[in-house]
Amino acid sequence: MAEIQLIQGDITQSDCDAIVNAANAIMLGGGGVDGAIHRAAGPKLLEECRKVKAIDGIRCPAGEARITPAGDLKAKFVIHTVGPRFGIDSEPDQLLGSAYQRSLELALEYSCQSIAFPAISCGAYGYPLDQAAKVSIRECLKYSSKLDICFYLFGAELLEIWRQELAR
């Protein structure tokens, strides 16, 4: 049985085929993990993001995902997804689940064998951590026989919350 791996650390160091970016809808960089990924990937990633079709400036609505090459990262691809802003977007669990699902589908479509996720929406977008862990693990378990999935969790608290959810 495939496993979901939990790692405490920086996702930019991952050598998975695809790393997932918790982006915003404009998809041209930002703070948090988005900023870290763009810094580590270099300007090529921003160039690739600019090529993604935008409608009224929106490249990726919440709950969807887009794929680009990964610039200078070890990964082959960056999958940019946008989680819900907790307390602002309606049906946040559904949107968060969809962000994971669309990312996993894209990874399979591009023949990736491994994918690394951060804790989408758990920083600037303010999602309750235990609720985010539940949604993310539930969606990832549906794909864990097809893909090696790992989470890069920033800090001991996040790691422990994901660990407990995975052990359920």
**What are the residues binding ligand AR6 (CB under 6 A)?**
10-12, 22-24, 30-34, 36, 83, 118-125, 152, 154, 158
Q: Which of 34, 89, 130, 148 does the annotation list as catalytic?
A: 34
Task: Decide whether 83 or 97 has the Cβ nearer to ligand AR6.
Answer: 83
Task: Decide whether 147 or 158 has the Cβ nearer to ligand AR6.
Answer: 158
Task: Decide whether 17 or 121 has the Cβ nearer to ligand AR6.
Answer: 121
Minimum distance of ligand AR6 from residue 9's CB (angstroms)? 7
**DSSP per-residue codes, the chain:** ---EEEEES-GGG--SSEEEEE--TT-S--SHHHHHHHHHH-HHHHHHHHHS--BTTBSS-TT-EEEEE-TTSSSSEEEEE----TTTSSSHHHHHHHHHHHHHHHHHHTT-SEEEE--TTSSTT---HHHHHHHHHHHHHTTTTTSEEEEEESSHHHHHHHHHHHH-
Q: Is residue 130 among the annotated active site residues?
A: no
Active site (catalytic) residues? 34
